[in-house]
A and B are shown apart, each in its own frame.
Chain A
Amino acid sequence: KNQVEQSPQSLIILEGKNCTLQCNYTVSPFSNLRWYKQDTGRGPVSLTIMTFSENTKSNGRYTATLDADTKQSSLHITASQLSDSASYICVVSGGNNDMRFGAGTRLTVKP
């Protein structure tokens, strides 16, 4: 069983709408959690990193939250744009060379 589960697998929204992507993990011990954005045909690019003591962090229209007690994170996208269409990958690290990747959420933003 994957130690990082993401939901939904895919999501279609209209341009301008908000959406929230979920990441649940069982990785233990916990060190940090990153959200990556992967455009089609390209490598992932980091959006945010969160450590145990942080429960929210923003990067422009992207806001990530972390609840280390329930082992859940979310990525909220505000006022979506067509360029937000991509896969979003949650990566949880338990320590040195122990990064676990979720399967990703495929987001499609339609005009």
Chain B
Amino acid sequence: EAQVTQNPRYLITVTGKKLTVTCSQNMNHEYMSWYRQDPGLGLRQIYYSMNVEVTDKGDVPEGYKVSRKEKRNFPLILESPSPNQTSLYFCASSFGGDGYTEAFFGQGTRLTVV
């Protein structure tokens, strides 16, 4: 089954404790991206990757890091989480980043930073 898998689904952590949210896709997509979703704001792009070892900042990259060492994996790293990073996070993948090809989203990770 074609899918994007995120882990964990739920995470509560304390300020400053490094964490990683994993994302994996099995569709051989070149393009992967991370979004955060906050009430009333819609999805905002954090980082994206157009292929292995190619990553770039989205609209809200501060406080986040990513890596793309393999085509299927695109982890999101919070080196020192803060309460304003409490949000619902989605990973997505597609063949391209221009919207013509459908983006497939993971199930989401609800992160709470206390």
- Chain A residues in the interface with B (C-beta under 8 A): 2, 4, 9, 31-32, 34, 41-46, 49, 89, 91-93, 95-99, 101-104
In the complex, 28 of the A-B residue pairs with CB atoms within 8 angstroms, ordered by the A residue number, are A2-B42, A4-B42, A31-B100, A32-B98, A32-B100, A34-B99, A41-B107, A41-B108, A42-B108, A43-B4, A43-B90, A43-B104, A43-B105, A44-B90, A44-B105, A49-B100, A91-B99, A93-B99, A93-B100, A96-B97, A96-B98, A97-B98, A98-B98, A99-B45, A99-B97, A101-B35, A101-B42, A102-B42
The B69-114 residues at the A interface (CB cut-off 8 A) are 90, 92, 96-100, 102-108
8 Å CB contact of B99 from A4, A32, A89, A103: A32
Residue ranges of B at the interface with A (Cβ–Cβ < 8 Å): 4, 31, 35, 40-45, 48, 50, 56, 90, 92, 96-100, 102-108
| Interface pair B108/A93, CB less than 8 Å apart | no
A-B residue pairs, 10 tightest by C-beta: A43-B105, A93-B99, A97-B97, A103-B42, A101-B43, A101-B42, A46-B102, A96-B98, A32-B99, A99-B99
The CA-CA distance from A104 to B90 in the complex, in Å, is 15
Taking a contact as CB atoms under 8 Å apart, the answer to whether A43 and B98 are in contact is no
* In the complex, chain B residues whose CB is within 8 Å of the CB of A34: 99, 102
Residues of A within 8 A of B45 (CB): 99
List A contacts of B103 (CB < 8 A).
44, 46, 99
Q: Please pick, from A4, A46, A95, A101, the residue contacting B98 in the complex, using a CB distance under 8 A.
A: A95
Contact B107 A97, beta carbon cutoff 8 Å? no
Q: A49-B99, A97-B50 are in contact. Are A42 and B41 (CB under 8 A)?
A: no
CB–CB A43/B99 < 8 A: no
Given A97-B56, A103-B42, 11 more pairs with CB closer than 8 A: A31-B98, A31-B99, A32-B99, A43-B90, A44-B43, A91-B99, A93-B100, A96-B97, A96-B98, A97-B48, A101-B35
Q: Is the CB of A43 within 8 A of B92?
A: yes
Set of chain A residues within 8 Å of B104, measured between Cβ atoms: 43
Q: How far is the CA of A41 from the CA of B37 in the complex (A)?
A: 12
A42 to B107 alpha-carbon distance, docked (Å): 5
